[in-house]
A and B are shown apart, each in its own frame.
Chain A
Amino acid sequence: MSETTFMGVPREKIPWYPTIDYDKCNFCMECDKFCPHQVYEHREGDKKLVVANPNNCVVFCRACGKTCGPDAISFPSKSEILTLIKNLRTEEMVG
């Protein structure tokens, strides 16, 4: 997935992915069952679920968060990410 782009910007330059609040997460794994892009992976130990592949996350998709009972998943601000994408696009064009 490393060659993928979003709006012409390399995906890995866009910090859009879920963050798990481990104080709230009950490891029901609904988000992982929901996400078809293998963003999450299971682990041994305290943190039984991790955001293993952040760049697989679809930019501006927050659907897994809507499946989270304890509301433990957050995403960055869309407008901040959008500003960043616009700036990166300008750079790409200039560069």
Chain B
Amino acid sequence: MKRAILSCSGMDKQMGSLARELAIRLNEKTGDEIVCPTLLASIPARYEELLKAASLIVIDGCNTRCASKLANRCNAKVERKILVSEAARDLGIDPESGLTPGPNGLKLVAQLLQDVERDLGEEASSGSSVMELAPPEDFLIVTHDKYQFKIPKEGFLFNENDSWARAFGAKARVGVSDYVQQKLTDITYFEPPALNADVEQFGELGTIESTKSLLEIVSPVTGKVTAINLELTDNPGLINEDPYGAGWIAEVELTDLESDKELLLDGEAYAEIVKRKAAEDAG
């Protein structure tokens, strides 16, 4: 699929100016068209055709995430998001203040450019070798008003943050529950965790965003991320359609499942949590 780049305008804060700088360099490297955020906001028709044909690399400067919000508002397909302020923190780089990028800022941009080029290359070439797991058959059903929340009876372990783990061999597949996908409503974006990253139980395994909200995926297990569900990049709605099957998030090579289990719930126990949460949601 064709790609285009949408970034922060870079006129408000230093992180924004670095987002803009990254967009320009990415354009120089890849030739992908840059979408001007101001023009898109004022005359959306200018980019209508492009946004139908292309998926976006969205580059936000700060957590206000104007570029992401703009992409969302235009119903654009998003392939990849970069948040410069977060990356600066993760990489331990402290960019100079002011709107003209200084040496540290440019170092950060160079690093991000390298990362995004590598990731886009890997995604294009990665052959998925993920094991087929039979879909769960027996469900507990928690009913609240007009809502029904399904919870697999067997084989799935949950944490109270609405993530599940399904162990097979030395690994576990991880995802989010039917309850939380319904609460989020239509999921529009999946930000995957880093492949090969070490994750602690209750650590972050990426985020998912819906038109309504944002969820940090809280890992049910400790281990190393060995696979990511790349289908979700093109179709994050799979999490809504099939949260316990095709909408899985990642696979983790387990460090110590027995120890993780101490803080995990079986289907029955999680059903009690869902009952409580659904009652609280209703107010």
Contact = CB atoms under 8 A, between A and B. Distances in A.
B64 A66 contact: no
Interface string B206-222: 01000001111010000
Contacts of A30: 64
B72 interface: no
B202 to A, nearest CB: 5
Contacts of A61: 161, 216, 218
Contact of A67 (B63, B85, B218): B63
Q: Which of A7, A34, A79 has the most CB of B within 10 A?
A: A7
Contact of B63 (A6, A68, A79, A86): A68
A82 B216 contact: no
B186 interface: no
Interface string A60-79: 11110111111100000011
Given A78-B202, A79-B200, A66 B161 contact: no
A51 interface: no
Interface string A1-40: 1001011000000000000000000001010001010000
Contact of A82 (B65, B202, B280): B202
B203 interface: yes
Given A30-B64, A61-B161, A79-B200, A71 B214 contact: no
Given A66-B207, A69-B64, A71-B85, A86 B262 contact: yes
Contacts of B213: 34, 36, 63
Contacts, number: 56
A58 interface: yes
A78 B214 contact: no
Contacts of A50: none
A65 B200 CA distance: 20
A79 B219 CA distance: 13
Nearest to B61: A69
A60 B62 contact: no
B195 interface: no
A71 B216 contact: no
B169 to A, nearest CB: 26
A7 B263 contact: yes
A82 B214 contact: no
Interface string A82-93: 100110000000
Contacts of B214: 34, 63, 66-67
Nearest to A37: B280
A1 B277 CA distance: 11
B266 interface: no
Interface of B: 62-65, 85, 160-161, 200-204, 207, 213-216, 218, 262-263, 276, 280
Given A28-B64, A30-B64, A78-B203, 6 more contacts: A59-B161, A60-B161, A63-B215, A66-B214, A82-B200, A82-B202
8 contacts: A59-B161, A60-B161, A63-B207, A63-B214, A65-B63, A67-B214, A71-B85, A78-B200
